[in-house]
Structure 1
Amino acid sequence: MKKKRRKSQLSTRINLLFCIVFFLFAVLILRLGLVQIVRGEEYKREAEEIQDVSVENPVPRGKIYDSSYRSIVDNVPLEAITYTRFEDDPEKTLSVARKLAKMIDKPIEDVTERDKKDYWILTNKKKAEAKVPQEEIEKKELSDKEAYELQLKRITEKDLSSLSKQDEEIIAIKIAMDGGYKQTPQVIKGEGVTKEEYARVSENLADLPGVNTTVLWERSYVYDDLLRSLLGNITSEGEGLPEEKLQHFLVREYSRSDRVGKSYLEARYEETLNGEKERVEYINNEEGDIIGTESIQEGERGRDLVLTIDMELQKAVEESLTRNLKTYQGEPYLDRAFAIMMNPKTGDILAMGGKRFEKNENEKEEIKDFALGNLVSSYGMGSTVKGATILAGLDSGAITPNTMFLDEPLYIASTPKKGSYSNNLGTLGINGALAKSSNVYMFKTVIEMAGTKYIRNGSLQIGPKTFEQLRNYYGQFGLGVETGLDLQNEFTGYKGSEFNPGLALDLSIGQYDTYTPLQLVQYVSTIANDGYRVRPQLVKEIREATIEEDKRGKVLHATEPEILNRISMKDEYIDIVQRGFRSVMTTGTAKQFASKSYKPAGKTGTAQSLYTEGEGPNVETYNVTLVGYAPYDNPEVAFAVVVPYAISSDNPMSKNIGMDILDAYFEQNEDKEDAQ
């Protein structure tokens, strides 16, 4: 009996112990459930508030230099006041905004009526609740959003009149604080921060959680408007990453508020110019208040670009364009001019100038930079392309080096009379045809290429195949195709879509398809470079950033010349055209260059063009052009000048500009040699 009693007592104790353990486990599980499910988000927020958080601060972009290492684009430090939001707490943000408003002046012109209403609701909660009583919310079954919209609607002008200028400054500051994303510094005040404001805020950072005084970097353009359109722009503080390239940047660890290149050189070389941002950790106490910062990664500014452009030559080119545009300002349609210079052997672009009249905010016309027009706008280039037509005729076997043609008006059925600018040019060979700019020589060359015969008042059998053949030849020189320049948005020109015989003749003298000034300089460079077409280059080097202003960083990449193709013509044919181009500038249509010691060669051009403005009628004008290179026997520089929409075919602007820029190039080279 005693044994049974002991056994029963042991079993009871074990069961009791099991029940106690089970009860404790059940309590523990319930507690964990309460922590994770019911109060999980609350604890998570508290942990995040206490946890140290790191943010990134901007660093200067890389600089841009010219070929002689003169600074073109630099960075200017800008003292700024920023705010980094770590949590969504309108009351805390408002408290900081109120304190800041007493320390800085914040412009209020961007504060809207909606902003004022939001602020009024936040600071007048009881009055705001009275605008939409609880009974109305329940009766109409309004959502929180609907009730809030109704509150906004019922706020009167009298309510808003109670807001002071100080309140509006608080609103402007709070708007800036609420913008952007968590853990990303937002600029509260950048431009216009006074030393007193900067000092006041700096001294009170302990009472301004999330606020920091820092240095931002603004782009500085040393030569003001010079080459400005080609250099491009970066996004503003408000823009951040462009929407169309958002994913491109985010996968490369950019922040949404980062300022990035948005056009041309700044955009094309964004990842080169963009630096390594400084990373700073904010130290929090147990209550989640920020008590200090610690640098965990030093920033490094972006790498530097060295361009092929010579800014002193660029300056001379732009001065000539501006001076000549002012001289002919009385012409009603002549509103722009271009000049581009390139090393024909390396492809280095030495200067790229473009100017045009633009109306300012007061509707007055000003001459502004349009260097970009060299690659994004195209024009009929006239007789400058005749070198390519001659070489096409020679290569196709349509003509020989000894072919002579009588320059005479051509009468073709259903086509206006075709002829040269003069009817007294006589019988010409290739050299004379180029020197005197014979249209008829080119027409008869194309007729031979098409395998047809000219009969006065008869029709010509010239079809699409001849157009294609000519365009393929022109493309070898870079006309009507991409030049290979490493920039976005290069235009390749306009190709006519009709194929009647008269238009084929127009094509041969540069009066049908259109080309860009950049294509034109590549074309003449190919002739100067004995038939080798090289890729145009704007960037010479990429260098490491340096701290010392007077020291150059290590070369990370140097651009080498790149031959895109060699034209299909024989050397002896290219030599014939080169000699013809030299005759143009000694005895031909540009004989005013004959006395120049740098011995240029080149070709003039005039194309009939139509000027259209808005809904107005088409007006007949002329594009006057000039291409060339020098010295003719060992070319250092090639150039193209394009002056669209002149009212006279005799306008001398292209020749004046051409002479100005060649003179400047050789004078500056002579000065450099003397300095050495």
Structure 2
Amino acid sequence: MIFCIIIIRLASLQFAEGASLADEETKRDVKTVPLAAARGVIYAANGEKLAYSSSVQSLYMMLTKEYTAKVKDKEQNKDMLTDEARQKSDALAARLAAEFAKYSDPAAKQLSKEGVLDALDLEFKRNQGYVPRRIKADLSQKEIAYFMEHKDEYPGLSIVEENLRHYNNDTIAVQTVGYVKPFKSTETGYSIYTNIRNAMKQSDADPGLVYKPDESVGADGLELQYQRELRGKNGYQEISVDPQNMAKKVEKLVPPVKGYNIWSTINKNIQLKTEQAVTDQIKWLHSNAVQGKTHPDAQTGYAVAMEVDTGNVVAMANMPDYDTNIWTGEKLLPEDWEKIETNYQNGTVTPKSSGRSGNDFESVVFLGSTIKPLSVLIGLNEGLFSTTETYNDKGIAYFGKDDKSSVRNSSGHVYNNIRPAKAIEFSSNAFMIDMVGERLYNKYKGEALNVWDSYLKQFGLGVSTESGLPKEYPGEFNYRREDYTGTDQAALVYASFGQQGKFTPLQLAQYTATLANEGERIKPQLVSRITDADGKLVKSFEREVLNKVEFDPAYWSVIKQGMNSKVEAFDDFPYDFARKTGTSEQWSSKARANRDNGVFIAYAPRDKPKLAVAVVIPDGGFGSQSAAPVARKIFDAYDWEYGLDGIPKKSLAASSGETE
């Protein structure tokens, strides 16, 4: 009976299940190894390469049994390399190191015997046995020639074409462009790669979507935001393996598909002039007095220039910056990390790791008086006052229980009888407190802050700008913190003139563009189009309206008229433009006193807006003297390249033989 059962079972295996079991056996005997595709280029608006990949030749070794044979170590209860295997591995590593030293570029860092052994990964700590080991990247021509000629002497050796990432040496918008690092270094903190790893675990996963552990992937900025587009599609090898999971031969080769190219909206010339303007202004503040004193703690600066009609961001500066090429080496050295750890991220969208002033202030600061155009708009729309109502400015406003708390105008100015437009122009704190903060609180009481917040969000403050840049910070309605303000009434009073509420420079630029567009909030565009390797259009990005705030046209007239502060840096500016200076006070635990941050927003021209600009100089003092000069240089740079009136001044200069 047992014999009959065995015969029947064997017949079933042979005829009924044979085909499927054969397929399963084949799958077990064949492993897929990805081949990285060439990463796409990130271009500036006029075609300059900001990030690109060059073709390099790398030496790989496919491990064979003679180098990996193992024996059971009874004392340690684990498999260990046999003495013969270790001797052969040592000999191979020593020989490779010697040949590298003989034929490599003398200026390049030399790979030692220990380095080769580490790359071989004989204990399979990083990869399975069948995965080829990359021993050295970017081989010299002499190395390539030697190893190709002596390939038969090195079983398992292959020369593979790969790509090495490079960044523009002019360090153009480096925090915006971002950087790459190995896929194996993205196990935490990246939702996109968590999803990719989960997809790779599926039994039917597309081999082209499988990532190599040492494959370069986007880690920040546009490199991360457009990772899937830039990466392309990996090719792969199907490698037959033995029962010990060691490679036998390559059964199939599918070549990779090059990634798409990203065309950013950043104009190289405007960006470089913006970066230089911020750097020069910081240096100027160290040796020139603003309101009677120098500002040596002004160590950082941020600026964003965004087209009002398209949303295109033509400049996005975070200074100081750094050379992103340090990420493309074999390792990021500790001394290099120490230099960049506080400023390698984009301070125009996040306060983290994006620079610190001398008082440890981040890039996200209080709005200061730049909030006042919106404060007046809120007051008008809520019917708290009319466009022509007169307020008697005595230079001080009282609030709180029994009016025991008070706030004065900057420098103690008294403006007497002023209307809403002049309250913006003169930057009257007293007007904002009495006419907006107090009245809005009295109208809504416990709901007043919610009403205030809803207005700010419609202008892009306290919500994402929708730029898509990684790690974008939504801002902070910190006036809701009791340790900052104490009561809702006090919170609203301080928020009304900009001394509470922290928002990013990009949010400030979007807010300014919304004022220029009379309530139409548009998405900041960092990319204009995506093309394939042959230059064919894959996708284009157009103007995108996020929301529209409907106000009486008369209210917008008041705002345009009021954004007229006196700014010396623009004395000879050839365009009528709208602007608002800001100086936000911030407590410094280091100095044990309040310190001033410089903030400035503007759009030009006033009646036909083309460009909106926001500049923030933490620890810089009054915005009119610390931040405004940077904005002037940005407007001049844009006028030269594109023309604030639609006529690029460089074209006029070229026709007359002038230079910039």
Q: What is the alpha-carbon distance in structure 2 between the residues aligned to residue 666 and residue 291 of structure 1?
A: 64
Supply the RMSD in Å over aligned alpha carbons: 4.1
Q: Shift of residue 205 of structure 1?
A: 2.8
The 5 A counterparts of 1:74-153 are 74-85=52-63, 90-91=68-69, 95=88, 98-99=91-92, 101-105=94-98
After superposition, give the CA deviation of every residue in 1:155-189 in whole Å (9 maximum; x if it has no partner).
xxxxxxxxxx9874663353378432344333111
2:543 aligned counterpart, secondary structure:
coil
1:186 correspondence with 2:133: yes
Deviations 1:234-269 (A, max 9, x none): 223763766865552131532351332222321221
Which residue in the other structure is 1:303 paired with? Answer: 260
Q: d(CA) in 2 for partners of 1:235 and 1:194?
A: 23
Does the Cα contact within 8 Å between 1:354 and 1:370 map onto a contact in 2?
A: no
Within a 5 Å distance, the mapping from 1:605-644 to structure 2 comes to 605-612=582-589, 616=590, 618-644=592-618
Matches within 5 A, 1:352-431: 352-356=316-320, 361=335, 372-377=346-351, 378-408=364-394, 409-412=396-399, 413-431=403-421
TM-score, reference length from structure 1: 0.74
- The residue aligned with 2:493 is 505
Deviates more, 1:369-378 or 1:473-482: 369-378
Once the two structures are superposed, the pairs formed by residues 22-101 of structure 1 within 5 Å of their partners are: 55-85=33-63, 90-91=68-69, 95=88, 98-99=91-92, 101=94
**Does the aligned pair in 1 maintain the 2:365–2:503 contact within 8 Å?**
yes
The whole-number CA distance in structure 2 between the counterparts of 1:363 and 1:211 is 34
Give the TM-score normalised by structure 2.
Answer: 0.76
User: Cα 1:368–1:637, aligned 2, differ >3 Å: closer, same or farther?
Assistant: farther
Higher Cα Rg: structure 1 or 2? 1
Distance change in 2, residues 1:176/1:534 (3 Å): farther
Change beyond 3 A, Cα 1:501–1:418: farther
Q: Distance in 2 between matches of 1:308 and 1:368?
A: 26
Question: Are 1:323 and 2:280 counterparts?
Answer: yes
Alignment deviations for residues 435-481 of structure 1 (CA, whole Å, 9 cap, x no partner): 111111111222563374xxxxxxxx984422222221122111122
Whole-angstrom distance in 2 between the partners of 1:642 and 1:53: 54
Q: Which whole-Å CA distance do the structure 2 matches of 1:29 and 1:649 have between them?
A: 90
Question: Are 1:266 and 2:223 counterparts?
Answer: yes
Task: Give, in angstroms, the shift of residue 204 of structure 1.
Answer: 3.0
Cα distance per residue 1:22-73 (max 9 Å; x no partner): 89x98x979x99xxxxxxxxx9999999x77663322210110112222111
Deviation at 1:224, TM superposition (A): 4.3
Instruction: Tell me the residue number matched to 2:625.
Output: 652
Shift of the 447–386 alpha-carbon distance from structure 1 to 2, 3 Å rule, reads closer
| Change in 2 beyond 3 A, CA 1:576/1:182 | farther
Distance 1:479 1:283, change over 3 A: closer
For 1:105 and 1:601, how far apart are their aligned partners in 2?
Answer: 68
Aligned to 2:458: 476
The alpha-carbon distance between structure 1 residues 559 and 88, as it changes in their structure 2 partners (threshold 3 A), is farther
Q: Map of 1:232-243 to 2, 5 A cutoff?
A: 232-236=178-182, 239=185
1:211-610 → structure 2 map (5 Å cutoff): 211-236=157-182, 239=185, 247-250=194-197, 251=199, 253-257=209-213, 258-280=215-237, 296-329=253-286, 331-356=295-320, 361=335, 372-377=346-351, 378-408=364-394, 409-412=396-399, 413-447=403-437, 449-450=439-440, 452=442, 463-495=445-477, 496-497=479-480, 498=482, 499-546=487-534, 553-581=535-563, 583-584=564-565, 589-590=566-567, 592-610=569-587
**SS at 2:163's partner residue?**
strand
**CA positional deviation for 1:527:** 1.0
Check conservation: 2:393, 2:418, Cα contact below 8 A: yes
Partners of 1:313 and 1:357 in 2: how far apart?
Answer: 16
Q: Distance in 2 between matches of 1:653 and 1:183?
A: 60
- Cα contact 1:484–1:535 (8 A) shared by 2: yes
Residues 227, 371 of structure 1: 8 Å contact kept: no
Q: Would the aligned equivalents of 2:39 and 2:260 in 1 still touch at CA under 8 Å? A: yes
Alignment of 1:659-670 (within 5 A): 659-669=632-642, 670=648
Aligned partners of 2:436, 2:517: CA distance in 1, in Å?
A: 25
In structure 2, what is the Cα distance between the partners aligned to 1:230 and 1:672?
26
Deviations 1:265-289 (A, max 9, x none): 212211101122233456999xx99
Query: C-alpha displacement at 1:194, in angstroms?
Result: 3.6
**Percentage identity across paired residues of the two chains:** 23
